[in-house]
Amino acid sequence: MVIGKIKKVLEKESTFELVELPYIDVADDPVRPELSLEFRQAYGRKIYGLKDEDGDTCAIMCFAFTNDVPKSVEEMDSMSRDAAMQAVHRAGIQGNIAIAYTVWAKKKGGGKHMVNEVYKMVKQSAHIDRLVTLSPLTEMAERFHIKNGAKKLQVNDTTQNFEYDITLEEWEKFRDRAKGWFKIR
């Protein structure tokens, strides 16, 4: 009885599903519409969508995987290319820093839920050590990331970086151990 309750709590599922998207209409991106679909899919870059319980995409976030924190889109391009080339020699494991360079909501609240789901995904990753943004120099971007728990890392000439702390909390470490004891995935 008690084990069943514990298992139910530990298995609590999100009403959202984070999926890799093969295609987006880049003209819908209010942050960086100038970046082509090819750019977003090349050299260790990925596009994720957040599907709600109805299967609708409620938010989109684009990533580049690097080994250092870029200060511009051009620098991110170069760094993600380097990380992708290095990954060839490391069994496909790309850069250890996930750089979120654009996020937008298609439904109210989608952006916040997207950040929460990406945060969970990155925390569970074996090779990603940091979650950092490459955000435009706007108050809206700053408010969004600060409100969602990020710390301002640096302000650059044309961008600003925020970092989300992805270290496991003590309760998360205990949860993971408990899942192992009860053989819950």
3 state SS of 100: strand
Q: How many CB atoms lie within 10 A of CB 69?
A: 19
| CA pair distance 28, 10, nearest whole angstrom | 37
pLDDT in tens, 121-179: 888 887 888 999 999 999 999 999 999 889 999 999 999 999 999 885 565 556 666 66
CB atoms within 10 A of CB 14: 12
Q: How high does pLDDT run on average in the chain?
A: 85
Among 87, 1, 4, 106, which residue's Cα sits nearest to residue 46? Answer: 87
Q: What is the pLDDT of residues 81-103, one digit of tens each?
A: 998 888 766 555 667 899 999 99
Give the other-Cβ count within 10 Å of 133's Cβ. Answer: 26
Domain boundaries in the chain?
2-180
pLDDT value at residue 102: 94
CATH topology of domain 2-180: Aminopeptidase (3.40.630)
Residue 113 has pLDDT above 60, yes or no: yes
Q: pLDDT tens, 26-52?
A: 999 999 999 999 999 998 899 999 999
